[in-house]
């Protein structure tokens, strides 16, 4: 058989290693999602009727209220700030354009700890009010309940409105100045131009940002747990860790998956049905208007308020506690948590990015439909909440781990214990699945910018596919790959729900240490870890700001 016929046979039977590897990687990413469905449909102990009759309606109602409220508030704040920044000049506007990105560096659960510490009975606000008005106890005055659903909505929206702000600002910038001038000539005022021209044209971008916010809200555990708000995510923890019912946890997780899939589908439909095109060959950007006097001050305050709530307040509170408790910085448990976080996050980020590059390159080389079909499906992991992935990973992995331990003991006669679930392997796998979409998206976009002629020239000179990837593609895409590596690492550092479910016994990361200490009302010991998480997040925001100039 000639070499050409051998290659043809390999392609016919799917033996190409790049295509096979791409399918394997996609399978690893998709298996946890499928496992949740299987566990929900075939539970060992079916408590679905009990859940429907008791807690599930309450979990679902609270989740929907939280999700929609946070999405609406974040969309309103992000869109309003983006409109002001892109259409007007006012005091501090050039600084606020980038400062409004900084709340992304603050995990929502850190914002929750700071807000409670600032507004609780013993906090500076209520203490100051009692001192100012001579009140003695809480019965002498009314103050809103801090640990409540409303406070959770505010904290989550303040942390995540930049998702909407980034996309809306880009959409407003891309709009033509001609449309603004026509609307102004027809007598439309500032509000009219926003409602009739700017908002409709930017609606797909705003809808995409709001969908991301709502998906992240469903994923949140630290904030709602600290505020004692019962959602579907907290229900997974209760049913699994307290009631020890895996099937029930999987059934609640399946409800979350349905919600997330609905949001993703709705976002894609909205972008497909609402499309606008710039028909002018002489596109002119919108000229920003200078605001002076009261209008300028109002615009500055409107943009400063979300920045203050989402960034200044939490950073001020945790920094003050970190400075007041210098001994916490040398705590052995904090240093171990830092080492665990860097190790696990670094390994997960490296594996995720390498797998993303391999998958995208394999799909580009493959002429088969299966790898191309699986490529977009691998992004579902990013939409799936960490608690859902925890259920989908731990149960199948525990089954495999027990079989592996039994086999090793049979062959060697020595018990080895659980190698996969008893180590950080499950945690690394969860991070890889959860954030694979970031690496895959970066690799796909970067490789798409490389001319196919370069690859063909390399192959004509005798380079193999692996050599072409290493010598042609990698030098051209390493900037994008480096950014993806950083973003995945930062998300691994901040991830809490999956880490809570999958970490080995007595294994701490910065996120779990901050949550555990804050849950015990020990914000002094929690603050150093929170400061480190914020510093890592600020590095990512700096890269994001640079990319969105």
Lookup result for tokens 């930049």: 162
Q: What is the model's pLDDT at position 318?
A: 93
Q: What is the model's pLDDT at position 157?
A: 96
Beta carbons within 8 Å of 81's beta carbon, 6+ residues apart:
96, 100, 161, 165, 302, 303, 306
* Separation between Cα atoms, residue 64 and residue 66, nearest integer Å: 5
* Separation between Cα atoms, residue 158 and residue 42, nearest integer Å: 40
Q: Which residues of the chain have pLDDT under 70?
A: 1-16, 176-190, 267-268, 270-285, 367-368, 547-549
Cα 405 to its chain centre, rounded Å, is 35
Three-class SS state of 277: coil
Q: Where are the domains of the chain?
A: 17-30+348-478
Q: DSSP readout, 165-224?
A: HHHHHHHHHHSBHHHHHHHHHTT--HHHHIIIIIHHHHHHHHHHHHHHHHHHHHH--HHH
* Separation between Cα atoms, residue 356 and residue 328, nearest integer Å: 38
Within the chain, how many helices (H) and strands (E) appear?
28, 2
Q: What is the model's pLDDT at position 266?
A: 73
Residue pair 25/359 in contact by the 8 Å Cβ criterion: yes
CA dist list (Å): 264 to 168, 211, 356, 488: 18, 7, 21, 21
Q: What is the pTM of this model?
A: 0.85
Task: Read off the tokens for 206.
Answer: 């705003």
Which helix H or strand E contains 519, and what residues bound it?
A: helix 510-519
Fold assignment, 17-30+348-478: MetI-like fold (1.10.3720)
Q: What is the model's pLDDT at position 383?
A: 72
* Separation between Cα atoms, residue 159 and residue 107, nearest integer Å: 7
The number of beta carbons lying within 10 Å of the beta carbon of residue 297 is: 13
């Amino acid at each position: 058989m000639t070499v050409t016929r051998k290659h043809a046979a390999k392609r016919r039977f799917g033996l190409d290693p790049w295509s096979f590897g791409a399918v394997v990687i996609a399978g690893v990413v998709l298996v946890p999602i499928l496992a949740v469905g299987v566990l929900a449909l075939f539970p060992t102990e079916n408590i679905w009727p009990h859940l429907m009759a008791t807690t599930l309606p309450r979990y679902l109602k609270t989740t929907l209220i939280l999700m929609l409220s946070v999405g609406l508030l974040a969309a309103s704040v992000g869109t309003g700030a983006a409109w002001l920044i892109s259409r007007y000049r006012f005091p501090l506007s050039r600084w606020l354009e980038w400062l409004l990105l900084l709340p992304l560096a603050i995990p929502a659960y850190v914002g929750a700890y700071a807000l409670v510490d600032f507004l609780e009975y013993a906090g500076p606000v209520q203490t100051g009010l009692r001192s100012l008005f001579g009140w003695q106890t809480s019965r002498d005055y009314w103050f809103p309940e801090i640990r409540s659903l409303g406070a959770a909505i505010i904290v989550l929206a303040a942390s995540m409105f930049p998702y909407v702000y980034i996309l809306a600002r880009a959409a407003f910038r891309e709009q033509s100045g001609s449309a603004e001038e026509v609307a102004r000539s027809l007598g439309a005022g500032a509000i009219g131009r926003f409602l009739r021209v700017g908002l409709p044209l930017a609606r797909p971008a705003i809808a995409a940002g709001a969908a991301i916010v709502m998906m992240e809200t469903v994923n949140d555990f630290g904030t709602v747990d600290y505020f004692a708000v019962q959602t579907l995510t907290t229900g997974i923890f209760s049913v699994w860790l307290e009631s020890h019912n895996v099937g029930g946890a999987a059934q609640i997780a399946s409800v979350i998956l349905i919600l997330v899939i609905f949001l993703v589908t709705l976002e894609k439909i909205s972008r497909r049905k609402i499309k606008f095109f710039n028909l002018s060959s002489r596109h002119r950007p919108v000229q920003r208007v200078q605001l002076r006097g009261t209008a300028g001050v109002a615009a500055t305050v409107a943009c400063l308020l979300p920045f203050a709530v989402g960034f200044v307040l939490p950073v001020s509170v945790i920094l003050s506690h970190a400075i007041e408790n210098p001994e916490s910085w040398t705590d052995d448990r904090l240093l171990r948590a830092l080492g665990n976080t860097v190790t696990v996050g670094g390994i997960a980020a490296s594996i995720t990015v390498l797998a993303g590059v391999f998958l995208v390159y394999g799909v580009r080389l493959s002429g088969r439909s299966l790898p191309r079909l699986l490529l977009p499906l691998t992004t579902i992991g990013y939409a799936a909440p960490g608690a859902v992935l925890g259920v989908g990973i731990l149960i199948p992995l525990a089954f495999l781990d027990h079989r592996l331990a039994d086999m090793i003991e049979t062959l060697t006669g020595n018990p080895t214990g659980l190698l996969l679930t008893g180590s950080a392997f499950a945690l690394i796998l969860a991070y890889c699945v959860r954030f694979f979409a970031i690496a895959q998206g970066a690799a796909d976009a970067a490789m798409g910018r490389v001319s196919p002629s370069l690859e063909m020239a390399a192959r004509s000179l005798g380079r193999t596919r692996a050599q072409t990837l290493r010598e042609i593609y990698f030098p051209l895409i390493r900037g994008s790959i480096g950014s993806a590596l950083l973003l995945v690492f930062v998300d691994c550092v901040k991830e809490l729900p999956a880490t809570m479910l999958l970490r080995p016994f007595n294994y701490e990361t910065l996120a779990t240490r901050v949550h555990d200490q804050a849950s015990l009302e020990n914000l002094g010991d929690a603050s150093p870890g929170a400061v480190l998480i914020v510093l890592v997040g600020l590095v990512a925001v700096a890269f994001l700001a640079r990319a969105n100039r």
